[in-house]
Amino acid sequence: MHKVVAFKRPVTPAPDVPMQGYVIRNFTPNWFATTMGTGILSVALAQFPGHPWLFAMGQALWLFNILLFATCTTLYTARWLLYFHEASRVFSHSVVSMFFGCIPMGLATIINGFLIYGIPHIGDTAVAIATTLWWIDVTLSLACGLAIPFMMFTRQSHSIDQMTAVWLLPIVASEVAAVSGGLLLPHIADAQTQLTVLMTSLVLWACSVPLAMSVLVILFLRMAVHKLPHVNMAASSWLALGPIGTGALGLLVMSQTGPAVLSANGLASVAPAFGGASFLGAILLWGYGIWWLATAVLITLRYLREGLPFNIGWWGYTFPLGVFAVATLRLSTMVPMSSIAIFGAVLVTALVCMWLLVAAKTIKGTLDRSLFVSPCLKAD
C-alpha cells in the first residue's frame, strides 16, 4: 500500500544514474514542507511587538526561508528537466501528489514576510513584490486545489482505510493564499484593487475551508473505524489543525481589513455585518481547533509508545501548530483576555522547540541523503 511504504527507505540509484544525480532524481514536493514550517515560525516570531529581538530572529529566519525556497525550487525544477518521465509519475501517486500544495503554501509565508519584514527596509517595493508573488500564489493554489482532487477522482487509487490528513494539503493552499490577501489589503492604495483582492481572498477561502471541513468529517470516520494510520504517517495527525487555524486566521484578518475596503467601495451598509460575521466565524473555528489540537497531542503520545521514525513528513508538526499559534495571537489582540495571549505564547514556544528538533534531524538526513526518497520510483 502506498501509505505504508511512502517514506520507508531511499530508492537505490539505478546503475546508469550517476551518484551526483541521486538527490535531484529523488527530490519530491514533500521538501517544500520545510519552507512552510520555517516560514510560519518567522511569521509567528513577529507577533510580539514588545520583543524586538524576536522580530530580528524572525527576519533572519524569513531571509533564510527565501534561500530555502529558492533551493527547493531549483532542485525540483532540475528533476523535471533531467528526469521528466520519472518526475511525471508523481501525478499517479496517492500520497506524494498531495504535497504539491506545499509549494504555494511555502510561497505564502514568504509573501507575508515581505509585508512584515520587507516594508521597513524597502517600503513600497516590498508591497509590489508581495502583490506580484500573491497573484502567482493564487494561481498555484487554485491549480493545486482543482488538479490534485481531479487526479484523485480519475487516475489514483484511494481507499478509506488508507486515508490520512494529507488529503488536505492541496485543498488548504487556497485559504493560506486568502490570509496573505487579507494582509495585503491595507498596503494597497487603489480602492478598486483592494476590492478585487478582498473578493478574490473570499473566493479562495470558500474554495478551501468548506471542502477541508468535509474531509475532516471523513477523516474522523476513518480513524474511528480503521484506527490510526501507520506510524510512518504519524505527523499527519497534526494536519487537521492546519485548515482550521488558517481558516480562523483568514477570517480574523479580513474582519479587521475588510470593512474599510467595503466602505471605500460604496458598500458601507454591509461593512459592520461583514466584520462581525467574520469575527464570530473565526472564534468558532478557533474553538474547533482546540479540540483537534488536543486530539493531535493525544495521538502523538500514543505513537511515541511505538517509536517515531523520522522522515520528511515530520515537518507536518510545524505549520499547523504555527498557523494556529498565529491565529491565537491575532485573536488576543482583538479580545481583551490575557489568557489567550498566554496560550498563544505557549504555542509559539512549542513551535520553536519542534522546529529546532525537526530542523536538526533534517540537516542530518540531508547530509547522509537518507531523506531523499521518491516513492514514485520502484526500488531496484
State whether residue 203 is helix, strand or coil: helix
What's 89-112 look like in SS3?
HHHHCCCHHHHHHHHHHHHHHHHH
Q: Can you tell me the distance from the alpha carbon of 364 to that of 168, in angstroms, rounded to the nearest whole number? A: 28
Helix axes 241-264, 318-332, angle to 10 degrees: 40
- To 10 degrees, what angle do helices 271-304 and 241-264 make? 170
Q: Which three cell numbers stand for residue 19?
A: 551518484
Query: Which pLDDT value is given to residue 307?
Result: 86
Q: What is the pLDDT of residue 143?
A: 98
Spans of all domains in the chain? 24-369
Task: Name the residue type at position 214.
Answer: S
Q: Which CATH number fits domain 24-369: 3.40.30.10, 3.40.50.12780, 1.50.10.150, 1.10.230.10?
A: 1.50.10.150
Q: Cα-atom radius of gyration of the chain, to the nearest Å?
A: 20
What span, in angstroms and rounded, lies between the C-alpha atoms of 218 and 159? 11
pLDDT tens string, the chain, 380 residues long: the values are: 333 334 344 444 444 444 558 999 999 999 999 999 999 999 999 999 989 999 999 999 999 999 999 999 999 999 999 999 999 999 999 999 999 999 999 999 999 999 999 999 999 999 999 999 999 999 999 999 999 999 999 999 999 999 999 999 999 999 999 999 999 999 999 999 999 999 999 999 999 999 999 999 999 999 999 999 989 899 999 999 999 999 999 999 999 999 999 999 999 999 999 999 999 999 999 999 999 999 999 999 999 988 889 999 999 999 999 999 999 999 999 999 999 999 999 999 999 999 999 999 999 999 999 999 898 886 43
Taking the CA atoms of 173, 146, 142 and 285 in sequence, report the sign of the dihedral they define. Answer: negative
205-223 per-position pLDDT tens digit: 999 999 999 999 999 999 9
